[in-house]
A and B are shown apart, each in its own frame.
Chain A
């Protein structure tokens, strides 16, 4: 099978392309879906195919096929070539592939507990116990959990990537992911909902470590408290502490996405949009000196883990905002060429039949030096937003809204009553500029980042410590 990759690169060379890249990718996924305690279905999926990208006269063509025979690969390649050639006739600005630290390597994450050794019963039992704990927690507060959706996925991604300029990367990455959607309900109070994702690179040991029954108990108990106790939040200007889950999404949306070089160049303009950052924004102050945001694919165990990107470029940590100043963008080789820099290994693709594009991996606010207590102690009146449900951000990545779910009033440094749906609706620069302290703690959440056309929901971590914002305006939904 791997010989097809070499065949594709050799054939592309014979066609006279400027650059070629071939990726054989196999994703094998096993899933179970439980709704309201009933197993809806077990599923397994095998997706295997080859994607090729060629640069012809400054024009980029991509083709994929899952019929893994030489003649089908050759057909895909020839069509990619012809499409690129056709487009090149009307292109005024030519595309080029910039430099990058190309690798020749094999990366394998070895699971401690292989998925093959985990039978269906073990998977189902784990979810069933978690489901039962959710109901038990709600019953303590005399509320119901009428709707519970949980899915548990294990999957292995194997890739073999070659480029015409020498990259040669094999990788085997196992992942575990959980999605949960919970509704708690009381006839007089109505519903409150939360969903969350867990995801890591590793074997079944990851799922065992999550302790899902305990997590579901805690999540549902917290939701029940919100339903029964949360009051309208104070509104107006106040100090706010954001928990790691909120800090993670802010870092992803308001730093990671704006820093994607393809967005800066307008390549996503008709889909996910552009960014308020420009080609010359390196060095621009966008926040207080307490703001440091990184994206790092190399974090062991992370959901967005990889050591070489889809162009064979070695991955490394990228410091996107350093002490409040824009420090680095996320690049693939195409954008690196335009910016006159080296690729920093941000080219990712979610499947064999998807074009590699600039993506985040694990984006997080870097920890500061405050204890959690220190962050709260001098707040006279404020809000602590631990997690959220609703959020969005405009297509310039400048106006965002986060609506808190589990959130508390802070009075004289202490957490007081739960408040319902506090709204932080603020500009990116407004938010980052208000940060005056970051905690020492660091937590990550899993997510699927959506970008591209066709859409590619790619595994990432978002994360950070608790951070404190001074004098920001809070509203209520």
Chain B
């Protein structure tokens, strides 16, 4: 029987059986079919329309402590059999790891609301109209030009494991990112993400970007120093992505996290609670099960400032002596859907409380001097504003945030009641976040 005559969703179970026959103690196989359209635009024009049609098969095997992974893109009986034989052979030849954790034993019960995803449009005319609408919104608010990306995607992942897991997960989403330019130095950026077409508002996204760009007109050079800073959702989402990603037990173990040795300790202000919640149906990061087939669950990573858990798969959990948190990544656990609990004040009220400070609307290019201490810098971009006596006083430019992630977490003074979902080129994990007011944030600038 040729594999192409097996239904795609049956291939993972076929792989698990083959792997066991070859001598693997544990096997997982995930076959992902995906269809994604991306339209990019700049200078108010579409620059390229792209379509990605992929079918990938990821296989993980263990022969007790010996582990190997493979990924293949040619889905035929011959290539699958060859890949399974190879991956088991290589696993056997691989030196043993320090722990063996069998793949979690199912069958599991999954939330049916998380297994299905809404239909999103992929047809060119609808998507082109979204882009036109976003550009129109930016121009209406005074931008000279707009650039950005529209993403629309549907995928289905079929997972089988030797732990009696046989499940399928749909995902879909719409994402639009708009950067508006009033001039080279006066720009604004806004994003909108949705799982249903009716929740995406490209024009409003363009308008928000345009409004920031217009407010940022005629910026003057900012002055370095420590300031009370209001971080907009795009900036705080970037920082929260760092915290969420570096709470992966694998990265903690690799020395690549400032959260090492801090479980149970106060790592942030009491105002800060960070949750990974893949169980929110209808959000882009919703997932019914992780890559080991374990049902996902809501968990606090940081609760009222205290670090509660790292993110685990079954292997890191065994190593750390805890239970899996349902965050596999076969090798590297990771967050699915980050949620920051809101504060109680409006954004205007937060600004009103700042005597002298800086409001940053966006940032990018975050790099660490030391992951373990959390020393890093990142570059504010798009609208950045001086706040004086409780009001936005002026547009400023060319400053850098050069500080320490733990210090920033501890210096969270307040959070807004309103929150936004953020995901874009710089923020990979869908994140629901408020504005954050940070005391004593260090800004530096070029000195010549």
- The residues of B that contact A423 with a CB separation of less than 8 Å are 444
A269 touches B72 (CB 8 A): no
CA distance A453 to B250 in the complex (A): 27
- A425 / chain B contacts, CB cutoff of 8 Å: 400, 444-447
Q: Are B125 and A86 in contact (CB under 8 A)?
A: yes
Residues in B with CB closer than 8 Å to A353 are 52, 54
Residue of B73, B184, B189 with highest tally of chain A CB at under 10 A: B73
Closest B residue to A271 using CB positions: B425
Distance (Å) between the CB of B447 and the closest chain A CB? 4
Q: B257 to chain A: closest CB distance in Å?
A: 10
Contacting B at CB under 8 A, from A411-430, are 421, 423, 425-427, 430
- Residue B177 is within 8 A (CB to CB) of chain A in the complex: yes
Q: Which residue of B lies closest to A183 (CB)?
A: B255
Within 8 Å of chain A (Cβ to Cβ): is B68? yes
State whether B51 touches A64 (Cβ < 8 A).
yes
Residue with the highest number of chain B CB atoms closer than 10 Å, among A45, A46, A87, A395: A87
| Residues on the B chain within 8 Å of A66, using CB | 53-56, 73-74
Q: Does A477 contact B (CB under 8 A)?
A: yes
CB of B201 closer than 8 Å to a CB of A:
no
- A72 contacts the other chain (Cβ, under 8 Å)? yes
B75 at the interface (CB under 8 A from A): yes
CB atoms of B93 and A65 under 8 A apart: no
Q: Which listed segment binds A: B23-31, B104-112, B337-345, B361-369?
A: B361-369
B373 to A191, Cβ gap below 8 A?
A: yes
Are the CB atoms of A84 and B49 closer together than 8 Å? Answer: yes
Whole-angstrom distance between the Cβ of A472 and the nearest chain B Cβ: 6
Find out whether the CB atom of B181 lies under 8 angstroms from the CB atom of A269: yes
Distance A191 CA – B83 CA, assembled complex (angstroms):
41
Inter-chain contacts of B94 with A (CB < 8 A) = 32, 39, 41-42, 120, 124
Give the one of B74, B128, B446 with max A CB within 10 A: B446
A434 to chain B, nearest CB (A): 8
Chain B residues near A38 (CB-CB < 8 A) = 97-98
**A87→B381 contact, CB < 8 A:** no
> A454 touches which one: B38, B148, B378, B445 (CB < 8 A)?
B38
Residues in A with CB closer than 8 Å to B48 are: 60-62, 355
B139 interface hit (Cβ, 8 Å): no
Chain A residue contacts of B446, Cβ below 8 A: 399-400, 425-427, 430
- Indicate with 1 or 0, residue by residue over A154-182, a CB within 8 angstroms of chain B CB atoms: 00000000000000000000000000010
Please name all residues of chain B whose beta carbon is closer than 8 Å to the beta carbon of A42 when the two chains form the complex: 67-69, 90-91, 93-94
Q: Which of B39-47, B227-235, B296-304, B346-354 contacts A (4 or more CB under 8 A)?
A: B39-47
Residue from A46, A82, A268 in contact with B72 in the complex, judged by beta carbons closer than 8 Å: A46
At the interface, yes or no: B204 with Cβ under 8 Å from chain A? no
Contact with A along B412-448 (1 / 0, CB 8 A): 0000000000000100000000000000000011111
**Minimum CB–CB distance for B46 against chain A, Å:** 4
Interface residues of B in 121-158 (CB under 8 A from A): 124-125, 128, 132, 145, 147-149
Closest partner residue, chain A, to B94 (CB atom):
A42
User: Within the assembled complex, what's the spacing in Å between the Cα atoms of A216 and B425?
Assistant: 34
User: Is B70 part of the binding interface, using a Cβ–Cβ cutoff of 8 Å?
Assistant: yes
Min CB gap A134→B, angstroms = 12
Interface membership of B179, Cβ < 8 A: yes
Asked if A17 lies at the interface with its beta carbon under 8 angstroms from chain B, I say no
Given known pairs A86-B124, A193-B370, the reply for A274 and B184 (CB within 8 Å) is yes
A120 to B67, CA, bound (A): 13
CB pair B448–A473 under 8 Å, yes or no, is: yes
Given the interface pairs A60-B47, A120-B94, A146-B255, the reply to whether A401 lies near B54 with Cβ below 8 Å is no
Asked whether B372 is an interface residue with its Cβ less than 8 Å from the other chain, the reply is: yes
| B256 proximity list for chain A (CB < 8 A) | 147, 149, 181
Contact between A390 and B368 (Cβ–Cβ < 8 Å)? yes
Which B residues touch A271, using CB under 8 A?
149, 425
Among A73-81, A279-287, A457-465, the one that faces the other chain is A73-81
**Contacts of B377 on A, CB cut-off 8 Å?**
390, 392, 401, 403
Is the CB of B95 closer than 8 A to any CB of chain A?
yes
B372–A44 touching, CB < 8 Å = no
Q: Is B254 an interface residue (CB 8 A)?
A: yes
Q: In the bound complex, do residue A93 and residue B372 qualify as a contact, i.e. CB atoms below 8 Å apart?
A: no
Contact B178–A270 (Cβ < 8 Å): yes
A47-B71, A270-B179 known; A124+B51 contact, CB < 8 A: no
B14 within 8 A of A: no
Q: Is A15 an interface residue (CB 8 A)?
A: no
Say whether B375 faces chain A, with CB atoms less than 8 Å apart: yes
- Interface residue tally on B, bucketed by range: 35 or more
The answer to whether A270 touches B128, judged by C-beta atoms less than 8 angstroms apart, is no
Chain A, 390-415, contact with B by CB distance < 8 Å: what is the 0/1 string? 11111110111101010000000000
Q: Does A48 contact B (CB under 8 A)?
A: yes
Secondary structure call for the B interface: strand
Interface string of B58-72 (1 = CB under 8 A from A): 000000000111111
Residues of chain B lying within 8 A (CB to CB) of residue A149: 254-256
A248 at the interface (CB under 8 A from B): no
CB neighbours (8 Å) of A91 from chain B are 45-46
- Asked whether B86 is an interface residue with its Cβ less than 8 Å from the other chain, the reply is yes
In the bound complex, do residue B38 and residue A453 qualify as a contact, i.e. CB atoms below 8 Å apart?
A: yes
For residue A475, CB closer than 8 A to chain B, the reply is yes
Flag whether B376 is at the interface (Cβ < 8 A): yes
Name the CB-closest residue of A to B87: A44
Residue of A nearest to B70 (CB): A44
Instruction: List residues of B (173-213) whose CB comes within 8 Å of A's CBs.
Output: 177-179, 181, 184, 189
Assess whether B189 is in contact with A62, with CB atoms less than 8 Å apart: no
Q: Whose C-beta in chain A lies nearest to the C-beta of B132?
A: A90
- Is B286 an interface position by the 8 A CB rule? no
Distance between Cα atoms of A287 and B232 in the complex (Å): 36
B51 x A392 contact (CB < 8 A): no
In the assembled complex, how far is the CB of residue A233 from the closest CB belonging to chain B, in whole angstroms? 13
B5 interface contact, C-beta 8 A: no
Given that A120-B94, A149-B256 are contacting pairs, would A399 and B400 also be in contact in the complex, using a CB cutoff of 8 Å? yes
Q: Does B406 contact A (CB under 8 A)?
A: no
- Bound-state CA distance A276–B68 (Å) is 47
Docked Cα-Cα span, A473 to B364, in Å, equals 24
Q: Is B37 an interface residue (CB 8 A)?
A: yes
Interface 1/0s, chain A 36-71, versus B by CB < 8 A?
A: 101111111111110000000001111111111000
Q: Given A42-B94, A43-B68, do A477 and B375 touch, yes or no (CB 8 Å)?
A: yes
By a beta-carbon cutoff of 8 Å, the part of chain A in contact with chain B is 32-33, 35-36, 38-49, 59-68, 72, 75-76, 79-80, 82-87, 89-93, 95, 119-121, 124, 146-149, 181, 183, 190-193, 265-271, 273-274, 353, 355, 389-396, 398-401, 403, 405, 421, 423, 425-427, 430, 434, 453-455, 472-473, 475, 477
16 residue pairs A–B, Cβ–Cβ below 8 Å: A44-B90, A46-B73, A46-B83, A49-B54, A66-B54, A66-B55, A75-B53, A82-B124, A83-B124, A84-B49, A92-B45, A390-B368, A392-B377, A421-B369, A423-B444, A434-B448
Binding site for A on B (CB under 8 A): 37-40, 42-43, 45-56, 67-75, 79, 83, 86-87, 90-91, 93-95, 97-98, 124-125, 128, 132, 145, 147-149, 177-179, 181, 184, 189, 250, 253-256, 331, 364-373, 375-379, 381, 398, 400, 402, 425, 444-448
